[in-house]
Amino acid sequence: DGTTAFDDTTGEVSGTWVLGRPPAATPGLLFYIMVDSVSATIDAVIAHGCDIVQPIGADAPEITARFKDPGGNVIGLYQQPTK
């Protein structure tokens, strides 16, 4: 149907991007993407024009941050702590 879809390499996660919807006016679903480095991902997010709305450290000792995408949606980043 022409939509952009995604799948992970294990076949356990699948989805599609739905475009043309306005951002929610009130808080709703907040999901986190697990990344190797929240710090490096923040740099990439900023380079692509997104705003950081919660910097690293706000959820300490968890390593997280949140950003607002170009559509106004807030998305969390999570890094597995090293032992």
Question: Does pTM top 0.75 for this prediction?
Answer: no
In a domain, 4, yes or no: no
CA-to-CA distance for 42 and 63, rounded, in angstroms?
A: 12
In a domain, 24, yes or no: no
9 falls in which pLDDT band (50, 70, 90)?
confident
| Element counts in the chain: helices (H) and strands (E) | 1, 6
In a domain, 52, yes or no: yes
In a domain, 76, yes or no: yes
Q: pLDDT tens-digit profile of 11-61?
A: 666 777 767 777 766 767 888 888 999 999 999 999 999 999 999 999 888
Omega before residue 23 within 30° of 0, cis? no
In a domain, 9, yes or no: no
In a domain, 40, yes or no: yes
Q: The CATH number of the domain where 78 resides is what?
A: 3.10.180.10
Domains held by the chain: number? 1
3 falls in which pLDDT band (50, 70, 90)?
low
